[in-house]
Amino acid sequence: MSNSFDHVILKLSRFLERDNFKGYDPYDGLNSKFLRFLTFNRKWLRIAVIQFMKRFPINLRHLFGIAKGRNPKAMGLLASAYIELYKQTKDENYLKKVREILEWLMQNRSQGYLGSAWGYNFDWQSAIFYIPKGGPTVVNTAFIANAFLDAYEITKEKNYLDIARSSCDFIMKDLQRTSLQSLAEGKGHPDRIINSSYGTGRAERESTDSITKKNIPSPLMGEGKGEGEMTNSSYCFSYTPIDKSCVHNANLLAAELLARVYSITNEENLLRSVEQSVKFTMSYQNPDGSWYYGLATRQKYIDSFHTGFVLVSLYNLINYIDATDDGRFRPHTLSLQGRQILLKGYEYYKKTFFEDDGLPRYYHNNVYPIDLHCSAQGIITFLRFKDYDKNAVDIAKKIANWAIDNMWDDKKGYFYFQKMKLFTNKIQYLRWPNAWMFLALARLANMP
């Protein structure tokens, strides 16, 4: 490991392992039976409880009976981080931790679906849909399945690949799809859900609301399509099995996982889904290179770490699609426009979301809250683009050093959650931001 960050990585690992990977989460407010009772099963009261517990700078969880728990998404991030450290050090203790975490994840999959999937260890209410504890999301599933693929790459144990391939079945068979054609014809609207509970299977719905697609060239050249053409057959994967929301980072995380598995198994049906879902998100890139979080009315904002998700997923899946069995590349599978869109998005991200000293900006038009999830994703994103940008690694190190100088508690060995204009929220959360920073620093530690 790099001498610059090994001290922080080792201390942070002790914090994460202290309670056997159990911890609090900013969004775990509904794990309180008392607070959940006070919501009377009303959407906005649930949101109020979650946001109060997230934003209040004093940790009241012990008063409301909220216990520390294992978060599946955090476990996936930690597994990927330990794999990074194992690759650098060849310390078998890291690989042992990976195996223990992945075994726990195999035993704690969401039940009742056609593929392996994972949710959160708490109920979660967004402005669009309600996800009960354990209800799977494509975001959690993608990060966790990628951890299994990381393990497969170093161990060649087929059961890890089988789990990730099973998650592709979740994406392909359990998630909803919203096509550009249905949006253009007013037959679907991303503000609405299909039903309020999980496990009821795929469903169709209709709406008189209409969203007109933007006339932006297709990034991928599909079979029989010329460069620059957009077809209404492209679609967006849903966030969960119960909604038809169109969230760009979730859609591309699904596509990235399909592309990564395709690069191993060469299943053409996976590749076709990648092409169609990528076309959808590419068609919604804004003229300045940005993407809104999603298509729904309440999702028309541009933030740092979700933009980073989009860019990293797009970068990765392009390389997975282009790679051949002998390690060569066949770039004809992607149009030049696709790479131009990727780099345009990267340049927007680079100039918008970080100050010269490494301070992260949460939104495109506002620094606050200063959130280390933005810092962690910034490190990961710039490292991914190091072959495009000779300054990318230096920017990643600058972001890490700012986080350590301003948001790191060296005595207790963890990173603070958020910094507001008037106060800093120092609650010790495990997943957000500490599991993210652990993964980011593990990847950064091996850079020259």
> How many CB atoms lie under 10 A from the CB of residue 52?
12
pLDDT at res. 191: 59
Summarize pLDDT for 358-408 with one digit per residue, the tens. Answer: 999 999 999 999 999 999 999 999 999 999 999 999 999 999 999 999 999
3-state SS, residue 243: strand
Q: Is the pLDDT of residue 216 over 60?
A: no
Averaged pLDDT for residues 428-438? 97
Cα–Cα distance list, 27 to 126, 163, 367, 419, 432 (Å): 11, 27, 21, 17, 10
Summarize pLDDT for 97-147 with one digit per residue, the tens. Answer: 999 999 999 999 999 999 999 999 999 998 888 999 999 999 999 999 999
Summarize pLDDT for 401-420 with one digit per residue, the tens. Answer: 999 999 999 999 999 999 99
pLDDT at res. 336: 59
Q: What is the band of 56 on the pLDDT scale with cuts at 50, 70, 90?
A: very high
DSSP letter string over 130-196? EE-TT---HHHHHHHHHHHHHHHHHH--HHHHHHHHHHHHIIIIIS-EEEHHHHHTTS--TT-BS-S
Greater pLDDT, 330 or 160: 160
Summarize pLDDT for 165-181 with one digit per residue, the tens. Answer: 999 999 999 999 999 88
- Enter the tokens of residue 334: 């992607």
Q: What is the band of 200 on the pLDDT scale with cuts at 50, 70, 90?
A: very low
Averaged pLDDT for residues 21-45? 97
Q: Give the count of alpha carbons within 13 A of 73, CB side only.
A: 24
What is the spatial order of strands in the sheet that 370-371 belongs to?
Answer: 370-371, 418-419, 424-425
CA 320 to chain centre: 18
Q: Is the pLDDT of residue 184 over 90?
A: no
The pTM of this model reads 0.90
User: Residue 115 — φ and ψ, nearest 5°?
Assistant: -150, 170
Residue with the two structure tokens 């990074």: 84
pLDDT at res. 227: 29
